[in-house]
Amino acid sequence: MNIALAQLNYHIGNFEHNTNKIIEHIELAKAKGADLVVFAELAICGYPPRDFLEFEEFIDLCEKAAQQIATHCKDIACIVGLPVKNEVLAGKDLYNAAYFIADGQVKNVIKKALLPNYDVFDEYRYFEPAREFACVDFKGVKIAVTICEDLWNINNNPLYISSPMDELAKEQPELMINIAASPFSYLHDDERVSVLSNNAKQYNLPLLYVNQVGAQTEIVFDGGSLAFDAKGNLIDEMPYFKEDLRIYEFEDNSIKGYAPIQHQTVPDVEQIYEALVLGIKDYFTKSGFSKAVLGLSGGIDSAIVCALACRALGAENVMAVLMPSKYSSDHSIQDALDLVNNMGCKHEIIPIKEAADAFDSMMAPAFKDLPFNLTEENIQARCRGIIVMAMSNKFGYILLNTSNKSECAVGYGTLYGDMCGAIGVIGDVYKNQVYQLAHYINKDGIVIPENSIVKPPSAELRPGQKDSDSLPDYDILDSILYQYIELKQSSSAIIAQGFDEALVRRIIKLVNNAEFKRYQTPPILRVSPKAFGMGRRMPIVGKYLS
């Protein structure tokens, strides 16, 4: 039996697009001699559909699409994910399910049992867990089909009290197939390979695993579909960050023609780069937009975002707006122009001095003789926000936010100023990782100007301003932030590692006090195990650790 894994990029709620793509790959797999083609979790509607699942029509359209797909399953079978109705009154109204379709008909309905409810996942909000399990029989082969999390209850601290494979194993299957929507983080591919390998080894069965690829707002899916032998050896790994279809010959309880290989170890910075490019590209194409605008300061953050946008959208579709203040240095303007020349994108120079002076004059009667402070700095940042939003409104550009994770964490940014935008490109990338990205982008030649990399970071909103006036060295700051955000360590635990107590408490208080700002910022492309946004839910007025 020949089994095709279809690693595809879906679009949430775009039934015509998803259905046509699935049918196209059914026909392609058939032409390549496949007997069975396997698609990802919730492929028909896209993942995660979130509250679209509360619309009855949405579920009906999923079923209608599945029936259309079934008409193409002649001389070939398919496994495809979709939500299905729970006909029992008690419990949630839906199952996260998959159809096994053959001879033009739905032969089996596989229901997901383990419903993740952590980080970016919220499946138990919508779905009822499966409690009955049965293998799929096809061409004389008994297949244990599971859905994503159903294979993840295998570590030393299981989240669930039972495992679907324990039940399916009682039927003595010959092959495992897992369909998934497994989001990217720069650590997740290694974990994924380990978990799946352990499943193949534990149940002594070969395993075929298909993941989707593409970005859905802030969540990026990296593909990397996998094949394992019955000993848990990785025997094939499909590409990351792009679509693919690959066929495997299964005979005599094994996948033929493959020997054990090593998992492709890719540096974190390269994975982050590819994920951000894909995230930008899909945010625009799936939203129906093509042109981006951003404020370009001459600093490293905006330079990185500009370079990523040019790669994702084409330089001709990127507008960089230089907005020097009266405190901007000549070299910052030149650094920004050097990047524009290196990338070939469009640009405008719109100084903000006149606007900022007008606000100062307008506010003078109310401010009386109070000295210059953060207020006037924020006015300048908000002038810039007005300008880039005006460019967005006038020309149909979509604004890219350029704040990094270190800044987002401690609130080092101005609401309605430099924190505005439609999508946060590097809001899950710490400042030190931003520097790594700059060197990665420059690996084949200078793209990011050297001066943007080596000069001290500055918002240039007052004379001689530097980030270090307000923040500790980024090496120290990022280390503390990583312990607190990704590793969820308390202040006392971080202090015990040797960090200065006063500094730790100050930074954690800054993080907690900035929660209200992060609630008002754009969605942030997720590349880490713990990103700001839907995967990190903290109270705004909480007292703990503050």
Q: How confident is the model at residue 546 (pLDDT cuts 50, 70, 90)?
A: low
Q: Is 378 annotated as a binding residue?
A: yes
Give CATH superfamily name and number for 270-518: HUPs (3.40.50.620)
Q: Over the stretch 53-93, which tens digit does the pLDDT of each residue have?
A: 999 999 999 999 999 999 999 999 999 999 999 999 999 99
- Known binding residue 424? Answer is no
Please check if 498 is assigned to a binding site: no
Q: Is residue 314 marked as binding?
A: no
> How confident is the model over 363-422, as pLDDT tens digits?
999 999 899 999 999 999 999 999 999 999 999 999 999 999 999 999 999 999 999 999
299 is in an annotated binding site: yes
Choosing from 21, 30, 111, 112, the catalytic residue is 112
At residue 375, what is the residue type?
T
CA 393 vs. chain centroid, Å, equals: 27
pLDDT digits (tens, 9 = 90+) for 258-298: 999 999 899 999 999 999 999 999 999 999 999 999 999 99
Given the residues 62, 73, 78, 148, the one annotated as active site: 148
User: Which is catalytic among the residues 41, 237, 274, 460?
Assistant: 41
Cα separation, 440 vs 361, in Å, equals 45
Strand-strand pairing, 219-222 and 213-216 = antiparallel
371 HSE (CA, 13 A, CB side)? 2
Beta-strand pair 36-38/292-295: unpaired
Mean pLDDT of 344-361: 96
| Strand ordering across the sheet containing 254-256 | 105-111, 94-102, 77-85, 36-38, 2-7, 244-251, 254-256
Does the annotation mark 270 as catalytic? no
In the residue annotation, 377 being an active-site residue is answered as no
What is the tens place of the pLDDT at every residue in 149-183?
A: 999 998 777 889 889 999 999 999 999 999 999 99
CATH architecture of 2-255: 4-Layer Sandwich (3.60)
Q: Is-catalytic flag, 148?
A: yes
Domain residue spans of the chain: 2-255, 270-518
Fold equal for 2-255 and 270-518: no
297 known ligand binder:
yes
One-letter identity of residue 495: I
- 443 has binding-site annotation: no
Q: Is 302 annotated as a binding residue?
A: yes
Joined together, the tokens standing for residue 428 give 């899950």
